[in-house]
């Protein structure tokens, strides 16, 4: 634990995990080291992460946008569990004299309750009930996610964070990394910068490898983007 101001939150993390139960993952992030930010976690089977895992894509976006300066928390955004289930996530911004020092996150996997709800509704309205509660899990997840711009993903390493972030950009462009033009590579670097991924230390080599270019090129692209901004 690098920040002594967060020590008492470790017990709070453990306490909430016990009180809320196994469907609620509770995570404490210490922002002293964004690459290994998780310093306490309860019910980690939900996301599959462990102590020492890095910040998520959504947490990095919070930092990049500095939404914590005007808000004390973010409620009910979406994430995906280790088994592919939709999660409902919320984050409390922990501040010291206005400076963000940590985040306390709760990720709720409500799939068991939705399954029970579906079973009951099917008894009452077999094959005729129409509505959100009667949708299949895939349809329900799609409906839930469609109203949100960012989906939180959880990883235990920086390599995985970069790989997914770059992979999503390549998928949107419909191209492989070895066929990127300079303009396309610049577009991806700009998107990664906007996502906050460069707030993580030492990711330049990972990004360069994922984009099939040199580290010097990545630095040059970033410099160009910042100068234009």
Mean pLDDT, rounded, for 36-56:
97
Q: Say what the pLDDT of residue 147 is.
A: 44
What is the Cα–Cα distance from 150 to 212, expressed in whole angstroms?
26
**Looking at the predicted structure, is the pLDDT value of residue 132 above 50?**
no
Average pLDDT rounded to a whole number, residues 99-125: 84
Query: What's the average model confidence in pLDDT over 208-225?
Result: 96
- Main-chain dihedrals φ then ψ at residue 59, nearest 5 degrees: -60, -40
pLDDT in tens, 143-187: 544 444 458 999 999 999 999 999 999 999 999 999 999 999 999
- pLDDT surpasses 90 at 56: yes
What pLDDT does residue 33 have? 95
Q: What are the C-alpha distances in Å from 127 to residues 62, 135, 142, 165? A: 43, 11, 21, 40
The residue whose two tokens read 């029970």 is 116
- For residue 126, the model assigns a pLDDT of 59
CA geometry: angle at 206 spanning 200 and 210, to 5°?
130
Tell me the range of 112-116, 140-144, 146-150 where mean pLDDT is highest: 112-116
- E strand or H helix that includes residue 25: strand 24-30
E-assigned strand segments in 55-157: 73-80, 86-96, 99-109, 151-152
Average pLDDT over residues 38-44: 98
Terminal CA-to-CA distance of the chain, rounded, Å?
36
Interval 69-81 mean pLDDT: 94
Residue 79 bridge partners (DSSP): 87, 152
Residue 96, beta-bridge partner list: 99
**How far apart are alpha carbons 78 and 8 in whole angstroms?**
27
Say if residues 6 and 39 touch (Cβ distance below 8 Å): yes
Confidence of residue 25 (pLDDT cuts 50, 70, 90): very high
**HSE-CB for 213 with a 13 A CA cutoff:** 23
* pLDDT (average), residues 7-25: 97
Give the mean pLDDT of 29-46: 97
Tokens (6 digits) for 166: 């770059």
């Amino acid at each position: 634990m690098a920040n002594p101001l967060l020590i008492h939150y470790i017990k709070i993390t453990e306490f909430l995990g016990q009180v809320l139960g196994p469907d609620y993952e509770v995570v404490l992030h210490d922002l002293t080291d964004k690459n290994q930010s998780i310093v306490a976690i309860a019910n980690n089977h939900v996301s599959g992460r462990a102590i020492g895992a890095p910040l998520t894509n959504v947490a990095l976006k919070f930092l990049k946008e500095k939404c914590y300066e005007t808000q004390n928390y973010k409620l009910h955004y979406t994430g995906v569990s280790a088994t592919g289930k939709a999660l409902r996530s919320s984050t409390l911004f922990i501040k010291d004299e206005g400076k963000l020092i940590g985040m306390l996150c709760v990720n709720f996997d409500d799939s068991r309750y939705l399954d029970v709800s579906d079973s009951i509704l099917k008894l009452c309205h077999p094959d005729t009930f129409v509505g959100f509660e009667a949708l299949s899990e895939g349809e329900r997840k799609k409906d839930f996610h469609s109203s949100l711009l960012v989906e939180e993903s959880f990883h235990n390493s920086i390599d995985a964070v970069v790989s997914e972030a770059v992979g999503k950009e390549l998928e949107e462009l419909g191209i492989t990394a070895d066929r990127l033009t300079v303009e396309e590579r610049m577009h991806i670097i700009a998107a990664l910068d906007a996502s906050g991924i460069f707030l993580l230390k030492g990711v330049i080599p990972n990004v360069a490898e994922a984009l099939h270019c040199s580290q010097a090129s990545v630095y040059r692209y970033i410099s160009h983007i910042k100068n234009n901004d």
